[in-house]
Chains A and B, each alone.
Chain A
Amino acid sequence: MKLLLIEDEKDLAGTISSYLKEEDYLIESAHSYSEAFEKIHLSEYDCALVDLMLPDGNGIDLVKKLKEVNQKCGIIIISAKESLEDKITGLNLGADDYITKPFHLAELNARIKSVIRRKQFDGGKVIEINELKIDTDKRELTIKNIAIELTRREYDLLLFFISNKERVLNKEAIVEHVWGDNSSAFDNFDFVYTHIKNLRKKLKDNGAGDYLKSVYGIGYKFTLR
């Protein structure tokens, strides 16, 4: 998989690429409009992360260019502005997703995977990890060919963990991904524990391995090791 990261803040770009490198992506960074413009025309990417505010141009134009050059490239807009118009314009131009700065790297990672799944496999793709089989189209989990009933939250949790496997996820990132804006009603994030405990029990009870580990002081991790 080849990714293009268009982000003028070099520090942020460096951190994002270090995080994503673990996923076996080939990542190229562009720090300006002109640099990105050149790269778009020189090679093909599976997914592009586009910052809208660039010192020498508007990222929206790059989205248009990307669409012209390569239909199959997934596009995720990264913006500092939580502006609805920008979001709508971007999505109308063919961007696949829109994420507002600052974001959790785990969240970005999950979004990239989701976009690539949709782009490369025409919508749904079945993710297989050992005995777990997730049909992302039907939002279904089967363990050894037996369908397991998961609640909406449990499914979202599992997919988020699997998208970020072998990585430590903190509670905030988990809550933000699964509960989004609705997390404001909770006094604290201790409730995440209950949901993870339930999910873990369901996996174990149905013959799957114990993949969900808690990481002291931070959060949780989905690990096969």
Chain B
Amino acid sequence: MKLLNKISLYYIFNTAVLFIVGLFAIYFSVDWIIADSSDGQLRDTATEITLKLTRGIKTEYPPLIEIKELSTEPHIKSAFKDTTVYLESENDNEAYRQYTVYKKINDRNYRITVRNSLIEKEDLFSTILIILTIILTLLLIILSLINRYSARKIFKPFYDNLTQLEKFSLNKNDSIVLADSNIEEFNELTKALTKLAEKALKEYRSLKEFSENLSHELQTPVAVIKAKIELLLQKEFADPDLPASLQSIMNNADKLDKLNRTLILLTKLDTADLFPIQKILLSERIERTLDNFSDAIQNKEIKLRTNLGSKLNIEFNDNLLDILLSNLISNSIKHNIHGGELFIALNDAVLVIKNNGKEPKQNPENYFKRFVYGEKLQNSLGLGLAIVKKICDMYGMEITYQFINGLHMIELNFNKTKDTK
């Protein structure tokens, strides 16, 4: 729920409670005032009638004024009473306030009844209710108009900044620029966010620098280890287990080396400037990559089918395209089954790679993260698809992975890199 709506809702709720209380307060006070003034009036009229009777004039005006002579003297006090009287003209019972006085005038006993028509309470109540409801409705309409206006004007810098924040990425390496507004809270938020972003950028840069340096520093010791082992492997060994141990050290040093190189590449991929683009015929490049892997394809007796009719030219970095295609095709061979199928098609700008393989045990979305293995293989670092994803992100390309009917399927859309010249 939007902030403005939330505030409005509280406002409306409280106002409604206040209106209900007000409704009863107004009703009872109006009712009391009317009754009070009406009773005074009735008393005055009764006094007047009594005075006239003393003078011998009998004024009657039923049902408002009724005078009755009584045979005996009733010892009843004068009293007010709410009553109803049947009116022939209306053919209905109407509400009246009546005042009855018993008086002995000139030795005759009289009962004087004075009546005043009452406003019906129901009418009074509903009138007040209608008026208050109209006011409440008007208030709501005005409030919503104000809200819409506020959302557009007052909240504009807020929403603008929100868009900026959504676009903000540590990778892009540019600091965030947020708009000022004339609202104190928003300005404070802007200030805090700018500070936060700067801090995050600074720390991200220093972390990146650290990992870059670390990777480069690691290369020399790994080089020394590898060289020493290679030298040792030339020797004759009395203990037959020793060469195997040395070989195992060598393999792990190799793995460390590959891992390190890949991580260096991953950090480099954050800087797009390092990779100038050029025009490349995609289908030709795919064929060349497949040719490079022909040994691996034959070795696993994989049935390869291609459909590379599309003559799509793309604007891409030469090296990165090699890395991208190599990683994808290498994966489709490595994770294939012996004698499995590999299908590669380029339809317009969409590259589809389908291959047999074991069912994924992982959530496929995780494949694009670092160090997530679908199937742990001896010759695998778990970084291949992370690199692919990073290259795709760099070019704003979409990549999807699916597993359907025993086939792994990767779809890659080159539309954004299309050479338009």
A-side residues, CB < 8 A to B, are 9, 11-12, 15-16, 18-19, 22, 80-82, 84, 100-106, 153, 167-168, 170, 172-173, 179, 181-189, 191, 194, 215-219
Find chain B residues with CB under 8 A from A15 CB: 224, 227-228, 231
Q: How far is the CA of A81 from the CA of B233 in the complex (A)?
A: 27
Number of interface residues of B (CB under 8 A): 45
- The docked-state distance in angstroms from the alpha carbon of A182 to that of B291 is 10
CB pair B264 A82 closer than 8 Å: yes
Contact with A along B317-332 (1 / 0, CB 8 A): 0010000001101100
Complex CA distance for A19 and B232, rounded to whole angstroms: 10
For the complex, is B293 an interface residue (Cβ under 8 Å from A)?
yes
B231–A170 contact, CB under 8 A?
no
Q: B14-22, B151-159, B243-251, B409-417: which one contacts chain A?
A: B243-251
Q: Once the chains are docked, how many angstroms separate the CA of A152 from the CA of B222?
A: 31
From A12, A102, A182, A187, give the contact of B295 (CB < 8 A): A182
Which of A81, A187, A219 is within 8 Å of B379, CB to CB?
A: A187
Q: Return B145 CB to nearest CB of chain A, in Å.
A: 62
Contact partner of B293 (CB less than 8 A), chosen from A19, A80, A100, A185, is: A185
Q: How far is the CB of B321 from chain A (nearest CB, A)?
A: 13
Tell me the bound Cα distance from A59 to B277 in angstroms. Answer: 29
Contact call A185/B296, Cβ cutoff below 8 A: yes
- Check A182–B223 contact: CB distance below 8 A: no
Residues on B with beta carbons closer than 8 Å to the beta carbon of A100: 261
Contact between chains at B299 and A19 (CB < 8 Å):
no
A101 to chain B: which residues have CB within 8 Å? Answer: 219-220, 222-223
Does the CB pair A170–B219 fall under 8 Å? no
With contacts A102-B257, A170-B250 taken as known, whether A185 is within 8 angstroms of B230 at the C-beta atoms is no
Which residues of A lie under 8 Å from residue B333 when comparing CB positions? 185-186
What residues on B are CB-neighbors of A80 within 8 Å? Answer: 216, 219-220, 223
**Distance (Å) between the CB of A224 and the closest chain B CB?**
16
CB distance from A107 to the nearest CB of B (A): 10
Provided the pairs A184-B326, A184-B334, A187-B379 are in contact, do residues A153 and B295 lie with their beta carbons within 8 angstroms? Answer: yes
| B106 interfacial contact with A, CB 8 Å | no
Enumerate chain A residues within 8 angstroms of B254, measured Cβ to Cβ: 172
Q: Is the CB of B220 within 8 A of A186?
A: no
CA distance A127 to B219 in the complex (A): 34
- For chain B residues 212-244, which have a beta carbon within 8 Å of chain A? 216, 219-220, 222-228, 230-231, 233-234, 240, 243-244
Q: Is the CB of A188 within 8 A of B220?
A: no
User: Across the two chains, which residue of chain B brings its CB closest to A51?
Assistant: B220
Cα–Cα, bound, A5→B220 (Å): 16
A41, chain B: closest CB distance, angstroms: 28
18 contacts between A and B (CB under 8 A): A12-B227, A19-B234, A82-B265, A101-B223, A104-B230, A168-B233, A168-B234, A172-B250, A172-B251, A172-B254, A173-B230, A179-B295, A182-B292, A186-B296, A187-B334, A191-B296, A194-B299, A218-B233
Taking CB atoms, residues of chain A closer than 8 Å to B257 are: 102
Report how far A189 CA is from B296 CA in the complex, Å: 10
CB of B89 within 8 A of chain A? no
- Could you say which of B224, B265, B334 has the most chain A C-beta atoms within 10 Å of its C-beta? B224
Interface residues of B in 272-325 (CB under 8 A from A): 292-293, 295-297, 299-300, 319
Interface-central residue, A22, A80, A100, A215, by most chain B CB under 10 Å: A80
The one of B216, B296, B297, B299 that contacts A81, using a Cβ cutoff of 8 Å: B216
Chain B CB count within 10 A is highest, among A80, A103, A185, for: A185
A88 to B337, CA, bound (A): 40
Q: Quick check: B223 and A102 within 8 Å, CB to CB?
A: yes
- Enumerate chain B residues within 8 angstroms of A168, measured Cβ to Cβ: 233-234
Residues of A near B405 (CB, < 8 A) are none
Q: How far is the CB of B27 from chain A (nearest CB, A)?
A: 87
In the assembled complex, the CB of B360 is this many whole angstroms from the nearest CB of chain A, namely: 17
* Residues A186 and B334 in contact in the complex (CB < 8 Å), given A101-B220, A217-B240: yes
Asked whether B227 lies within 8 Å of A106 as measured between CB atoms, the reply is no
CA of A135 to CA of B219 in the docked complex: distance in angstroms?
A: 36
Chain A residues closer than 8 Å to B71, beta-carbon distance: none
- Determine whether the beta carbon of B295 is less than 8 Å from that of A191: yes
Interface flag for B363 (CB, 8 Å):
no
**From B250, B253, B261, residue with most partner A Cβ within 10 Å:** B250
